[in-house]
Structure 1
Amino acid sequence: MTAVLDRCTTDIAPLAEVSGTCVPLPSGAQCRYANFDYAASAPVLAQVGARIGELVPTYASVHRGAGYASQVSTDAYEQARVAVAEFVGARTGGGPGDDVVVFTRNTTDSLNLLAACVPGDVVVLDVEHHANLLPWKNSRVVVASDTIEETIRSLVGELCSRPAALLAVTGASNVTGEILPVARLAEIAHACGARILVDAAQLAPHRRIDLAASGIDYLAFSGHKLYAPFGAGVLVGRRDWLDAAAPYLAGGGAVRDVTLDHTEWAASPARHEAGTPNLFGAAGLAAACEALTDIGFDEITRHEAALTAQLTEGLRCIDGVRLLRLWSDAEDSVGIVTFTVDGVAPREVAAYLADHGIGVRDGRFCAHPVLNRLGLPGGAVRASLGLGTGSEDVRRLVDALAELATRGGAHDGAERVTGGTPTGGETR
């Protein structure tokens, strides 16, 4: 197997400086942590940490104060909004159909916000993360087929059968990494009189997104999957629905004027950002957007594609390892490889890898219908990579799994807690 890896791969250096750590092993030794859980939460880029550190000395209230510190903080917050808009190619020409950037807590928060604004039915696929499956009040679920082409035909049939306001789809599956043709789906949705929302939690860190060029109407993603800290996400999209809806939260900052018998609500984005905003979260998210742009998505794609190919080839050489896919005709995917090991429960696989200083995700990834239709109600194991992943990390993971598959038994180390939520979730 090692010879196969040597023939098929070249050394690949991590693209960016991320926070690294050493972890203890059951033997008492330590080793460098091999992080294969980027799809859950990516480590913070050094550039992001530096940007937040720059704001600490002048951290103050946003939109509320006339003092110097408040002015600096307000400017930093609004410049973060501009940076996010540029990162996703938002429509900013000054017209009524322009996009607005609303800062939220995460992708789940963004999708729940939009769910309260949609004036009609929402069509979704059964392969969605729970964050894009549960919030919609009037949803019509389409069961995905074994190919993307057949799945698209099913979506067209549903959208044409009766009116829908929105098509809500994932950009890249959080279970398999497979990418849907979102620009094509946007064209189909518009032809059927609907708008499109793309859950880009897994897509945004790995591929360039251009709302204006692709026709995407709404986009949601999280900072913590984009190499920024927890607690900040965005909803970017056309302002008319957002301005027509009731505020997501009622409170200070979301209003123009209040009397005891009347409230005049502000326009978006303020309309949906009541309360004191998360300055550090917004600034960190924007810094991550700028850092990824500086690296370049062509370079990011090449880096991750080579590592994913190395990992996939290595796993295919191990007897008893089964790789998961949703669509046989998927042409592109981000750096996510999900698999099972014959005779070894996913939780046991994750614990064994943890004993080797390797972090993966096990469970059902907050996508229970997907795992059920794949015949895996007990879950699977997901290895996801990113900017800080190197070729040696992949080699360590493959070698550890080869050893486990050969042994076919339990790990020797102490009991560990793996997964995330009691149901093996992966939050957004």
Structure 2
Amino acid sequence: MTATDLRTAPTRVPVAREASTDAASARRGPLAALADAGLEVPVLGGGTVRHVNLDVAASAPALDAVAAHVARVLPYYASVHRGSGYPSQATTALVEDARATVARHVGARDDDLVVFTRNTTDALNLLASAVPGETVVLDLEHHANLLPWHDRRVVVGEGTISATLAALDDELGSRPAALLSVTGASNVTGEVLPVGELARLAHAHGARLAVDAAQLLPHRRVDLAASGIDYLAFSGHKAYAPFGAGALVGRADWLDAAPPHLAGGGAVESVRVDAVDWKQGADRHEAGTPNVLGIAALARALVELERLGDGPRREHEAALTARLHHGLASIPGVRVIRGFSDADDRLGIATVELERGSVGLVAAALAAEHGISVRAGRFCAHPFFDRVATRANGLRASLGAGSSADDVDRFLASLARLVADGPAHAYERTPAGWCPRVDDRPRAVID
């Protein structure tokens, strides 16, 4: 494929005054200090540019406060729950305080468990082992919330949220299910689902509700008790704590009756040659030495998100999201993918498909020539993407607390030029994806 494969009719390049008429939006800078702020990356032809990270829906950089917290607690790192020394006591307190912080942040009920996991996928796989019956899911789910369920029934979403709720109502009414498990917000379109309504719907049919909050929680405050959610799964690496920890929060009875997620030390009351007495509660599923630093980072990230405030976070993101979508609408040959025509709330995510050319090539050129990180593909949501898209793959830009109006404008201008004129350098498709034919950038290594 050559640069000409990406050409369309001449196009206007979106600029700040076209992307938004809101003066506050035009001046909007980052809401929070992140570890990647000011990062310079090399580009083809020599030199560096400030990196624009529009791939935060995949993995978000650490908040500065989170990175600083990890550095402070690192000298005290020691064994948890079993050591007699002061560092061990401090580490144990760190983990248990983090558990309380997570429970408070998500509005857990007094008898809910907080089980620390590796990530959302790990948390949902744990829950899948505990469900005493069938699980109903939507086809719009991330694979993490589609594949783990042993006995699942998949409901194909409709063109509106209201019609999709009706389809779920019909499915749950047709045959009993133990669990309805849905995403809180699509990682493809950013559209937010009404989790409170879904909880009421599930409970009306005798089912429980689990929510994959990997995308939702970093952008919206979630309250289990207030909304009626029974189980919540989420990851630190999408919530500005990329240190390898996640959590499953929810009702204890299923989890206490489930087989231990991992068999090993810490999950047992006693072990004999011919029998094991397993613990109840979170310990039952947290065998082995926990990811202390990841857990500490996750809890601190939630505290920092609270300090930023729900209102300012939503205002910041709404302004930049409107700016992003307005600019995309002005680029010929670009179509924004939507799942629901009646969705009135969406996160800072926009996935587009091109009338001509390869989104993989565009993503490679955005990175190599412009220092802009996005994501190309089907975003681990293949059934949903195949239903709502007309092309094989899409290009996703995602915003966060560290994003600015300048980030959005650089992306829009660069995308418009690439769609109109193609890349400035030659690329070839390799097993690793699209790569510059001649790459004069320094090798991406960190000493």
Select the residue among 16, 35, 42 that pairs with 1:19. Answer: 35
Select the residue among 299, 303, 323 that pairs with 1:290. Answer: 303
1:41 aligns with 2:59: yes
Indicate the residue corresponding to 2:197 in structure 1.
184
> C-alpha distance in 2, partners of 1:130/1:418?
23
Select the residue among 59, 65, 86 that pairs with 1:68. Answer: 86
- Secondary structure of 1:54 counterpart: helix
- Cα gap change, 1:25/1:395 in structure 2, threshold over 3 Å: closer, same or farther? same
Indicate the residue corresponding to 1:423 in structure 2.
none
Contact 2:269–2:279 (Cα < 8 Å) also in 1: yes
Indicate the residue corresponding to 2:351 in structure 1.
338
Contact 1:368–1:377 (Cα < 8 Å) also in 2: no
> C-alpha distance in 1, partners of 2:365/2:429?
9
Q: How does 1:302-317 map to 2 (within 5 A)?
A: 302-317=315-330
1:321 aligns with 2:307: no
Select the residue among 413, 416, 419 that pairs with 1:402. Answer: 416
Indicate the residue corresponding to 1:242 in structure 2.
255
Q: Residue 222 of structure 1: CA displacement?
A: 0.4
- Cα gap change, 1:230/1:189 in structure 2, threshold over 3 Å: closer, same or farther? same
> C-alpha distance in 2, partners of 1:209/1:6?
30
Q: How does 1:24-423 map to 2 (within 5 A)?
A: 24-92=42-110, 98-354=111-367, 355-376=369-390, 378-407=392-421, 409-412=422-425
Contact 1:351–1:418 (Cα < 8 Å) also in 2: no
Contact 1:351–1:411 (Cα < 8 Å) also in 2: no
> C-alpha distance in 2, partners of 1:6/1:306?
9
- Structure 2 regions of 5+ residues with no counterpart? 1-13, 434-447
Q: Residue 89 of structure 1: CA displacement?
A: 0.6
Stretch of structure 1 that moved more, 149-158 or 260-269: 260-269
- Cα gap change, 1:176/1:411 in structure 2, threshold over 3 Å: closer, same or farther? farther
Deviations 1:163-219 (A, max 9, x none): 100000000000000000000100110010000000000000000100000000000
> C-alpha distance in 1, partners of 2:324/2:271?
58
Look up the equivalent residue of 1:179 and give its one-letter code: V
> C-alpha distance in 2, partners of 1:418/1:212?
47
Deviations 1:311-344 (A, max 9, x none): 1001111111100100000010111011022212
Deviations 1:253-284 (A, max 9, x none): 00111112221111110000000111000000
Structure of higher RCO (CA pairs closer than 8 Å, 6+ residues apart): 2
> C-alpha distance in 2, partners of 1:324/1:417?
27
- Secondary structure of 2:216 counterpart: coil
Contact 1:61–1:276 (Cα < 8 Å) also in 2: yes
Q: Residue 131 of structure 1: CA displacement?
A: 0.4
Look up the equivalent residue of 2:42 and give its one-letter code: P
Look up the equivalent residue of 1:307 and give its one-letter code: L
How many residues of Structure 1 are paired with residues of Structure 2 in the alignment? 415
> C-alpha distance in 2, partners of 1:157/1:342?
37
Q: Residue 419 of structure 1: CA displacement?
A: 8.8
With structure 1 as the length reference, what TM-score do the two structures score? 0.94
Contact 1:63–1:74 (Cα < 8 Å) also in 2: yes
Contact 1:26–1:413 (Cα < 8 Å) also in 2: no
Q: Percent identity?
A: 57
Q: After TM superposition, which residue ranges in structure 1, 4 or more long, deviate above 4 angstroms?
A: 413-420
> C-alpha distance in 2, partners of 1:192/1:236?
22
> C-alpha distance in 2, partners of 1:84/1:419?
38
Look up the equivalent residue of 1:11 and give its one-letter code: R
Q: Residue 31 of structure 1: CA displacement?
A: 0.8
Stretch of structure 1 that moved more, 409-418 or 112-121: 409-418
